[in-house]
Structure 1
Amino acid sequence: MGAPEDDKTRVEAAPRPEGDDLPRRIGRFHVLGRLGVGAQGQVLLGYDADLNRRVAIKLLRGTGGPDERDRMRREAQALALLSHPNVVQVYEVGEYANTLYLAMEYVSGSTLHTWVKNHSQREILGAYLQAGRGLAAAHSAGLVHRDFKPLNAMVGKDGRVRVMDFGLARGELATRSPEENTVMRAPTAVLWSGVTEAGSLMGTPAYMAPEHWNGEVVDARTDQFAFCVSLWEGVYGERPYAGKSTEDFRAVILGNKRREPPAAAKVPSWLRQAIERGMQGDPAQRWPSMAALLAELESGTPRRRRRFAAAAFLGVGGLVVGDVAYENLQARWQADACWDGGQELVSQWETARPTAQAAFVAAMPALGERTFRRAATIVDEFTAGWASAKSKLCMMPRIDPRWSSDLVGRAEECLLEARWAFESTLERFVAADAAAVQHAVAAVSDLPPPTTCLDLSYLARQSPPPADEQVRAEVLRVRQALRQVRSLGATGRFQEGLEQSRKLVTEADAVGWRPLSALARFRAAMFASDVTDLEQAETWLEEAMVLAAETGQDSLLADIVTGMADVVGGRMARHEEGLRWAKLAQAMTVSLGEADTVRGTWVLNILGLIYLDRGQLDEAEEVMEQILTIVREELGVDELEMAGPLNNRGNLHYRRDRLEDARVCYQRALELFERILGPEHPDVALALGNLARLALDRGDLDGAERLGLRALAIREQTNGAESLEASHAQQDLGNIYRSRGESAKALELLERAAVGAAKALGAEHPEVGYALLSLGELHVQRGDFEKASRFYSRALGIFQASRGPDHLDVAPALTGLGEVALGRGRVAEAVRHFERALQLYAANERPRDAAWARFALARARWTRKASQAEARELARAAAEELTALGAAADRAEVDAWLAERGK
């Protein structure tokens, strides 16, 4: 298949000159042009016709022997396994014309070197944080870049930074200045730096660490040095080491002759000190890891940093405190007991890492290694952040008078709780089973951010600990148990979590400290909601709400009210009540200053889903767009927190018959879930189920079956065969088999789905109504109108009682009853049902369903000779509507009906 006709393939590559020497194809890729050329090879622009995307193809000049090619291929394949939003993705490695090629993600944008020239210091730091995350991910996967610099990171037009050229050939090498060129003295340094011979030199002089110049072993700390040189260059506008030749750079870097920054540069001293530590000549004096450096940089960004501005004096010298005092003392802290004390978790993690990694691989050989790398990157960031917060807290009472003993105590308990969460998760990692592996990324993503523990406003909102030491000890014991139980939810063990949290409610009440009783009930309620014991969840939330309000726990109270909105308005479908709770919770997040944060999107998500369920589509769309904007600005487009909102946005598009928009959202959510959580995670089944329904609507029954079977397997494995989640997958797959005409399979699955939903939610819940609709459709198809009528009538009663007579969900029940009436020859009754369904579909912005209702009405009218002309016009109108919606298969069915009746 050739390249498409549109402009997607006509990009920045220079046009092919007459008689050029470029190949037409390399492997399965069409070659469109040349992006760059250098001593080691060339970079071509290619087109992947199978996946309709552009690629960058690195094609080498040299060959090397078979062993060398095998080693290079293995290293390139290792890089291909590294899937991270801030690393250019490697798609394929292969051989062409007796040399190697690498097909990689094509990034349209500019290098970081060029991009920084037109952006603010804050934006530059944000871009480098992204690049640093890419390096940290590579380090977690056992890869070292060896040649990081601003020219080896691209800033895409979407604002996302990707690190590239992990020791691979680059284009346009011959056109660069000496300090920009890469020194490559090893004959084997052809494709991948990881296979360069010992003692060889490979890197860019201006960014090379001392150990690199000395031919010593390079590791992640070498990348850290190059990263800090690059960041210095970005924020100061010039490199820290001046030189015009390779020997110049060797002399100044080995001699640690760093020049003073420009006098006019306004770079905070905390940022300068963080960068300078990363450029220490001795690797042991640099940051312990890229994750540790990134945690320090993130703690100083405007979004997270809390400026310490109080003034006081410390000792005889009378140092003014605040940021200046902190920054002046920072270097000293790193060498004393405060710094050492902060390293406890880092050491604990490094000690346990090999055991945990082995447990992951043993539990799931195919998935474990990749999942562990993803989880380990997050743990690296957490432990580094905890170490930084712990070290800072150690010094706060000495430099800032606002840090009273009470606040220090609250901060210590906050860090202690974060440590409990980490240790509980780590305990499950070192003894990981398949379920722990599947939920690992979600579990570590749920770890509390340590930076919160230094937020004075947050600490001030927490209840002071009990004065009685014995009571305080008991409170800490129960809180530790609650945190450990919470990790059960993060690993999908909801029933076990409910059983343990129920006991902890009793234990909390026995302690007699009301804030603890409120927290215990809230945690237990969330588990009860997870296992659909909704009445118990509501009871605990009501009790927790009173206790939290009485004890002034504003932040916890906001969480409880949000949980109530979810349980009552979302899961129990009491929409009016749920909306009131959601709007109250939304007001509370505004009061707490969290309305525009990722944490604040929890209530927005619930609000949007209630609007969607009520058919208030404009309101739902406004809220969902707000969520996506917040997450995009806070975290970026490739974080896990984007997946849920994208999935919900897809549901909105589906409701509005924007099927292609829905597919794009569902597919993007699936990609994020699979990449970050792993292919067997329950959230993957959520996206698969949505895509299966879309495939069914499009008439792709084979594709729908594949998706549906995979979703059901995940649900039954992770949630249980009789769970509510499994019933959703059973219903989807049952509807697929019904459409394929496999009646027996469909009946078994749909009956299981109806029983499962009723058992989980109660016989009057709308979810049960949906299952009954599917059974009604199946029995109409089987010609059993008596059973079909019973199922449709029962569903209609449920929807009218729970949703109201004008809700969208009433329409399919009416349509079903119309089909039953038509099958029994009761034409007037059928017309009445179809007309009412058509009104509801039109009122609820469902044009495709409205077209089908119009066609059903046409079929009913045709049975009476006097109304056949009207029937023909109704069918033609339905056909035109389906054409406008791009529903070709549906239009064909209507056309066939018209053709049989002479149009």
Structure 2
Amino acid sequence: MLAVRPELDRFVREVMRAQVAAALFGTKVAPVCVGRYELRRELGTGGGGSVFEAWDPELTREVAIKLVSAPDPRLRARALAEGQALAKLSHPNVVPVFDVGALEDRVYLVMELIRGQSLRAFAATQPPRQILAAYRQCCEGLTAAHEARLVHRDFKPDNAVMGADGRVRIIDFGLAVGHLDEHGAPGGARGGTPRYMAPEQQRGESLTAATDQYAFAVSLREALPEVPVWLSRVLARAEAPRPQERYASMRELGAALALDPRARWRRRALVAVPAALAAAGFWVGQARQDGPAPCQGGAAALASAWAAPQEQAVRAHLTALGSSYAQLVAPQVARDLDAYAARWIGSHREGCLAHRRGDLSETLYDRRQGCLSGARTQLATWVALAERTDAARLPELVRALPELADPAQCADAAALVGVDPPAQAQVAQVAQLTERLERARVLVASRAPEVVAELAALAGEARTLGYSPLLAQALLLRGTWFVMNGPFAEALPPLTEASELALRHRDYVVAVEAFARRAWILGKGATSQDSYAGMPQMLALAAGLPPRGRFAEALLRNNLGSLHITYDRPAEARAELARAVDVAAQVDGPGTLELANALANLALVTEEEARRSWLFGQWRQLLLGSLGPSHPSVIKAQIMTAIESGSAEEARLQLRESCGRMVALHPGQRDEICDCMFELGWLELMHGEADAASAAFTQAAAARADTTNGKLARAYQALEAGDREQAQQLLGPLRELRVQPQARWHQLLVSSHVDLLEAHFALRAGQRALVAAALTRADAVLARAAQIHPSRSVLRRLAWARAARAALATATE
């Protein structure tokens, strides 16, 4: 064993030494540790590493640790990312991952230690129906993994465990740690057991979800003593030699496995039972029909929100919109909605099974069902909006899709009982208002203006009802709308009241979120003293929130970091934003996109170039994974990354592509087009590309002639066209934006734009003294801006101003 895996010699050898010492001599030696976890014994190998039984002394529980060698830093980073994604995956048929980390040149996963038997051992003693039911659970687990963009790489009967509770967990996911191909991508042939490997895996090609599908089908066929004709046809397609000939997804394969003809005949027999017998024996018949797979009513319960008719209607409407973006995003929307529906159905089934086992009390089960009902309302609301949206509002609607309530969070018992319930006389009205509140959440996330009146009505009715927790949520949502859309002054009263109400009734998650949003608004116009008031106390409260409060804590820390940026405190901003990023990494589902801004904010105040580029890359990838490559938020992230990282030449070339994509796909994003084209125009001008600069300035001014960048673009455009009189007229009002070096960072940046424009104007007029004066002013404000926040755009302009001053001085001599 040691000779085969020399990279693990130290851990295997030390664990064996401890076992031998204890067995032979009763000697207790220092535990062999991976992080805080104490290794006890090696359980086996697989997926490119060894699995150990271990002990977590901090949480006093047994765990399993998979330790994988990853000597290549690039593969180690990828493996860590995959491990973190696996840790975020929550599904009853996938073993939970508690922790992920790196130790030297290894990656480790800390997982639940499952006591049970492998699916291979289980199948050896069970009838075919039980085996098929167990594999259908595996199918659900693999479906969840694939929808989280994870591939198992080594599915086989030994990598699924049947627990004592009758639940199957898939274990031993393989990580991409083997080798890199010539393009720097993980090689496809790593991992896998030859007996179950798909042809493309044996050839070393890229691995996809279809690879797992092949291994699953081989495993199921092998497990059954006899394969019925109908099932053989299903498995034959899943085992097709070419991936494109298999089922489109594991979910589609799961649906085919559910079409057991015997089950259909049993259902017909139930319908034929006389009415009296059916009424008397319905639950017995249902139990017999379901057999080993009870609680299958989730799909029917969700059908009013999302099923085939709604999918066809949404696809048809988006296609009919005619915009390029709508055509690109329609398939993605359908896939994301299908994935959401699958998660909802899985959570519905899990709750039902827990209730049947007696793990959930009636009260908890009712509250869990109420939580799922709220998620279904949100889904139905989103679908209804999608069936009537126009092309201009589609991007906001797509951005709202990842913000739908996560069905998995309905399993959080602490959240379900965290707020005092209403009085019995209030229950019915609270339920009605809660359903309206769930609809309003989707309308706010998609920026639907019709929600403003509804938010006012909800707050008013909740106030009249007198149930404070509901009123606090309604006020928070109303304040959030004004934070997102303005006017900002309208956000302060509801957010202030929401925070105070929630504190009074111990709903600390709502209290912290409302306070965080209020602090951000105060930073837009108040003094620093007002903005920071109460912050230490609220930070202490946020740090003690349960896991469901991680979003609120991360939002508070991000907004505090933004305040530090506003008040020119870069060191404090870096420290707080780093904490925000760490907390945000623990958030999955709703809020992830908003918290992604913490990565961008931290990148903006990070001086070390490699770290800055990495942060921008993480931000861009997070948005890309949630929204797809064509969404304006993703293109905007590409634009900011181009501006704030790399050389001026790289930025110029990247902006040409990204600005063009924004114009082509999202002509309604006028602010983003104006800002992008203005920056591109300035870079073109700096590189002596006068025609390209003029074209970019023209597009910037056409997008938004009324903004500061639009006005600057108009002046540059006139100057490049040789119309100095118009340029002078446009320059006049802009001079009022000049500030002294003591001003705030964003004011300094605008002031430098004006000074550099004036330098260009004076240069064209041959007024060298005015050129020198404008460049001197620009140098002073840009040098101060660089001290506060050395962004790439500031440093480029500072370098250009100084080079121009030096050239001017040389020419004068």
TM-score if structure 2 supplies the norm length?
Answer: 0.59
| Alignment match, 2:777 | 833
Seen in structure 2, the aligned counterparts of structure 1 residues 846 and 181 have a Cα distance that, compared at 3 Å, is closer
CA distance in 1, matches of 2:665, 2:535: 31
Deviation at 1:633, TM superposition (A): 5.8
Q: Mark the CA change 1:738 to 1:593 in structure 2 (over 3 Å): closer, same or farther.
A: same
Report whether the alignment pairs 1:536 with 2:490.
yes
Match of 1:378 in 2: 340
The equivalent of 2:128 in structure 1 is none
Paired residue for 1:210? 224
**For residues 593-652 of structure 1, what are the alpha-carbon distances to aligned partners after superposition, in whole Å with 9 as ceiling and x for unaligned?**
34983553222332333334444333333344434444556669xx86885444444434
Report the CA distance between 1:155 and its aligned residue. Answer: 0.8
Separation in 2 of the partners of 1:169 and 1:710? 33
Note the C-alpha offset of 1:840: 0.9
AA matched with 2:563? I
- 1:651 and 2:595 are equivalent in the alignment: no
For residue 659 of structure 2, the aligned residue among 678, 697, 708 is 708
* 1:521 counterpart = 2:468: no
- Residue 479 of structure 1 pairs with residue 434 of structure 2: yes
Of 843, 846, 864, which aligns to 2:787?
843
Matching residue of 2:295: 339
Task: Kindly provide the amino acid, as one letter, of the partner of residue 489 in structure 2.
Answer: E
* Cα separation, 2, equivalents of 1:475 and 1:514: 11
Q: What is the SS of the residue equivalent to 1:600?
A: helix
Summarize the alignment of residues 131-210 of structure 1 with structure 2, pairs less than 5 Å apart: 135-136=143-144, 154-157=174-177, 180=195, 204=218, 208-210=222-224
What residue is the counterpart of 1:78 in the other structure? none
**Among candidates 741, 744, 757, match of residue 690 of structure 2:** 741
What whole-Å deviation, never above 9, does each CA across 1:338-381 have from its counterpart, x for those lacking one? 93666653555455565356447735444322332233223311
For residues 667 and 749 of structure 1, do their structure 2 counterparts lie closer, same or farther at Cα, with a shift above 3 Å needed? same
CA distance in 2, matches of 1:214, 1:338: 22
Equivalent residues of 1:357, 1:369 under 8 A apart: no
- Aligned in 2, Cα 1:746/1:730: closer, same or farther, shift over 3 Å? closer
| Matches of 2:375 and 2:462, distance apart in 1 | 20
Contact 1:341-1:391 at 8 Å conserved across structures: no
| 3-state DSSP of counterpart to 1:156 | coil
| Cα offsets for 1:10-40 (capped at 9, x unmatched) | xx9xxxxxxxxxxxxxxxxxxxxxxxxxxxx
Contact 1:441 1:676 in 2 (8 A): no
SS in 2 for 1:494: coil
- Aligned mates of 2:208, 2:803 — CA distance in 1: 70
Conservation of the 8 A alpha-carbon contact between 2:674 and 2:703: yes
Question: Are the aligned partners of 2:642 and 2:651 in contact in 1 as well (CA < 8 Å)?
Answer: no
Question: Aligned partners of 1:776, 1:581: CA distance in 2, in Å?
Answer: 45
Alpha-carbon offset, residue 418 of structure 1: 2.5
Q: Distance in 2 between matches of 1:773 and 1:203?
A: 63
Equivalent residues in 2 for 1:504-519, closer than 5 Å: 504-519=458-473
Equivalent position of 1:677 in the other structure: 627
Separation of aligned partners in 2, 1:778 and 1:526: 39
Q: What residue identity is the alignment partner of 1:467?
A: Q
**1:604 aligned partner:** 557
Cα separation, partners in 2 of 1:756 and 1:814, compared to 1, 3 Å: closer
CA contact (8 A) 1:501 1:524 kept: yes
Checking the alignment, whether the CA contact within 8 Å between 1:558 and 1:585 is kept in structure 2 is yes
SS of the residue aligned with 1:556? Answer: helix
Q: Cα deviations across residues 812-850 of structure 1 (Å, max 9, x unaligned)?
A: 556666777884625785576256336414533639756
User: How far did residue 561 of structure 1 move?
Assistant: 0.9
| Counterpart secondary structure, 1:825 | helix
1:484 is displaced (CA, Å) by 0.9
| TM-aligned CA distance change 1:554 to 1:220, over 3 Å | farther
* In 1: Cα distance, 2:342 partner to 2:741 partner: 49
User: In structure 2, do the counterparts of structure 1 residues 474 and 810 end up closer, same or farther at CA, with 3 Å as the change threshold?
Assistant: same
Tell me which residue corresponds to 2:403. 446
- Tell me, yes or no, if structure 1 residue 688 matches structure 2 residue 638: yes
Cα distance in 2 for residues equivalent to 1:614 and 1:800:
12
Give the Cα separation in 1 of the matches to 2:740 and 2:288: 69
Q: 1:673 to 1:838 in 2, by over 3 A?
A: closer
Q: CA deviation at 1:708?
A: 1.1
> Aligned pair count?
610
- Asked if the contact 1:731–1:750 (Cα under 8 Å) also holds between the matched residues in 2, the reply is yes
Query: Aligned partners of 2:638 and 2:307: how far apart in 1?
Result: 36
In 2, distance between residues paired with 1:192 and 1:746? 43
Output the amino acid matched with 2:434: R
Letter in 2 for 1:825: A
Contact 1:148/1:223 (8 A) holds in 2? no
Aligned letter for 1:587?
Answer: A
User: How far 1:501 moved relative to its partner?
Assistant: 2.5
Q: In structure 2, what is the Cα distance between the partners aligned to 1:843 and 1:431?
A: 50
Three-state SS of the structure 1 residue aligned to 2:449 is helix
Give CA-to-partner distance per residue, 1:201-224, whole Å, 9 cap, x none.
996569844288556436999999
Residue of 704, 720, 736 corresponding to 1:794 = 736
Deviations 1:488-508 (A, max 9, x none): 233x34323334424434444
Counterpart in the other structure of 2:542: 589
Query: Deviation at 1:520?
Result: 2.2
In the aligned structure 2, how far is the partner of 1:379 from the partner of 1:451?
A: 12
Per-residue Cα deviation, 1:506-549 (whole angstroms, up to 9, x for no partner) = 44445454443332222122222222321212233234334434
Unmatched segments (≥5 aa) in structure 2: 1-6, 8-73, 76-83, 87-104, 120-136, 160-171, 181-186, 200-204, 240-252, 264-286, 321-325
Question: 1:362 aligns to what?
Answer: 319
SS in 2 for 1:461: coil
AA partner of residue 602 (structure 1): L
Q: Counterparts of 1:732 and 1:815 in 2: how far apart (Å)?
A: 13
Q: Deviations over 1:281-334 (max 9, x none)?
A: x9689xx9xxxxxxxxxxxxxxxxxxxxxxxxxxxxxxxxxxxxxxxxxx9999
Please state if 1:554 is matched with 2:511.
no
SS in 1 for 2:175: strand
Alignment partner of 2:450: what SS? helix
Instruction: Choose from 409, 425, 432 the match for 1:468.
Output: 425
User: Do the aligned partners of 1:346 and 1:383 also contact (CA within 8 Å) in 2?
Assistant: yes
- One-letter amino acid of the structure 1 residue matched with residue 554 of structure 2: T
Amino acid in the other structure paired with 1:462: V
Name the TM-score, length of structure 1 as normaliser.
0.54
2:521 aligned with 1:567:
yes
Deviation at 1:562, TM superposition (A): 1.5
- In structure 1, stretches of 5+ residues that fail to align are 1-11, 13-52, 55-83, 87-114, 161-167, 185-189, 226-277, 289-330, 758-767, 864-870, 873-899
8 Å contact from structure 1 (residues 617, 652) kept in 2: yes
Residues in 1 aligned to 2:566 and 2:395: alpha-carbon distance in whole angstroms = 30
Matches within 5 A, 1:226-237: none
| Cα pair distance change 1:209/1:535, threshold 3 Å | farther
Q: Does the 8 Å contact 2:674/2:701 carry over to 1?
A: no
Work out the CA distance in 1 between the residues paired with 2:223 and 2:634: 43
In the aligned structure 2, how far is the partner of 1:378 from the partner of 1:581? 39
Q: Tell me how far 1:672 sits from its aligned partner.
A: 4.4
The whole-number CA distance in structure 2 between the counterparts of 1:731 and 1:418 is 42
Structure 1 counterpart SS, 2:550: coil
Evaluate the alpha carbon distance shift between residue 360 and residue 463 of structure 1 in structure 2; reply closer, same or farther with a 3 A threshold.
farther
